[in-house]
Amino acid sequence: MSASVTISGIAKSYQKGVPVLLPLDLEIQKGELFFLLGPSGCGKSTLLRIIAGIVEPDSGSIFFDGRDITALPPEKRQTAMVFQNYALWPHLSVFENVAFGLRAAGASGKTIARKVAESLALVRMSDFAERKVPSLSGGQQQRVALARAIAVDPQVLLLDEPLSNLDAKLRDEMRCEIARICRERSLTAIYVTHDRREALSMGDRIALLDRGKIQQTGSPVELYKKPRSRFAASFLGDVNLLDAVAEGCENALLRIRTEIGTLFSVHTENANPPSVLIRPENIRVSTAPSEQNCFCAEYLTGTFLGERCELRFRTESGRILDVNEDSSELREAGKKYFLSVLPQNVVPLED
C-alpha cells in the first residue's frame, strides 16, 4: 500500500558550516510520481537517501501517512530504491535478483514465485527469468532492478537517476515504462534527476532544488510556463530573459518597459518584476507588424535541427533574441523581420 510522504524541517551538512540541505518542507501525495530536480550538488540525492534511511538528517522529521519514521532503520521503512548503476548480482539469474529482497524478508517460496512472476510481467521481462544479468542489455538490467524494487511492495519507491547510464533511445523508452508502471500500481514514487526532460515528461509534480533549497514546487506545466525566478526559468528550458520596469496596468494588462521596447503581460499578480521571460518557441516571426508586443529585428543566423529551426535575431536596441520555429527553411540573413509575442507568454519573474 502506497503512503503519503511529509518532510518537515529536514537539514543536512556533511561538513560544519557547509550545508547540503537547508531546512526544507515538502508534501508528497499518495500515489504521486514526484520529481526532485536540480543541478549536481543541489542536495536532491542526499534528500532521497535521508528518506530511505541511508543518511541521517541533522534535524527535521519524515512521516509516511502521518507516522514518524525518522528514527527507523532502512529495512523497517518499507521503501525500495532503484539506483543508476542497477546494483544487480551478476552471478544470479534474473529470477533470483528479483527474489532477493523477498527472501531477505522471509517470504515463503510460493509468495516469492508469485511476486517475482508478477513483477517480471509488469516490466515485460517474463521471458528472461532464467537469464544471467551480464547477458542483458542496459535497458533490460534497469527493468530487472525496477522489478526487484516493486516485488517487495514498497510504500514508497525511490529512484536515484535510474536512466543516466542509458543511451537516448533507451532513456525515452524507459521513461514511458517507469511512468506506466508507477501509475498502474498507484505507487508513491520519488524520482531524482538533473534531466529536465525526464521531470517534465513524467512527473505529476516537481520540486526544483538549488543550493540546498526548494526554489519552486508545482506541476510540470506550472513550472515551465510560470517559473518564479531566473534560475527556474533557465533550468527548465531555453529562455530570453529581459530586464524590466513595470509601468502599471492598462486594459487589464501589465505594461512593462524592457530593453527591446514596451511589452504587455496578462500576468498582473507581480506588479514590480525585475525581469521577464519569453520562451524562444513563443516568439512569432512575420514580414508584417502585429498590433501588440511587436518589434523589428534583423535575422543573424540559424540552425536547422529537423523538427525545428533555432534562429537568432538582433533587435533595434542591439539585444540578441533566440527564436525556435517549426519550419524547414532558414530566414534570409541581414533581412529585417517583425517579431511578436502574445501577452500570456510574457512572464514576469520575482528575481
149: its cell numbers: 524494487
- Would you say residue 345 has pLDDT above 80? yes
- Would you say residue 327 has pLDDT above 80? no
Please report the sign of the dihedral spanned by the C-alpha atoms of residue 277, residue 283, residue 288, residue 291.
negative
Residue 135, amino acid = S
- Would you say residue 330 has pLDDT above 90? no
Q: How far apart are CA 124 and CA 93, in angstroms?
A: 16
pLDDT, average across residues 50-64: 97
pLDDT, average across residues 320-340: 90
Please report the pLDDT score of residue 177 as a whole number. Answer: 87
Arithmetic mean of pLDDT over the chain: 93
Please report the pLDDT score of residue 351 as a whole number. Answer: 80
pLDDT, average across residues 212-226: 96
| pLDDT (tens digit per residue) in 147-198 | 999 999 999 999 999 988 888 888 888 888 899 989 988 999 999 999 999 9
Please report the pLDDT score of residue 173 as a whole number. Answer: 85
Cα of first residue to Cα of last residue in the chain, in angstroms, is 41
Q: How far is CA 19 from CA 6, 26, 45, 58, 61, in A?
A: 21, 18, 14, 10, 17
Between 28-32, 61-65, 132-136, the lowest mean confidence (pLDDT) is in: 132-136
The domain limits of the chain are 5-232, 238-349
Share of the chain above pLDDT 70, in %: 100
For domain 238-349, give the CATH number: 2.40.50.140
| pLDDT (tens digit per residue) in 86-131 | 789 999 999 999 999 999 889 899 999 999 999 999 999 999 999 9
Please report the pLDDT score of residue 167 as a whole number. Answer: 84
CATH fold for the domain made of 5-232: Rossmann fold (3.40.50)
- Would you say residue 309 has pLDDT above 80? yes
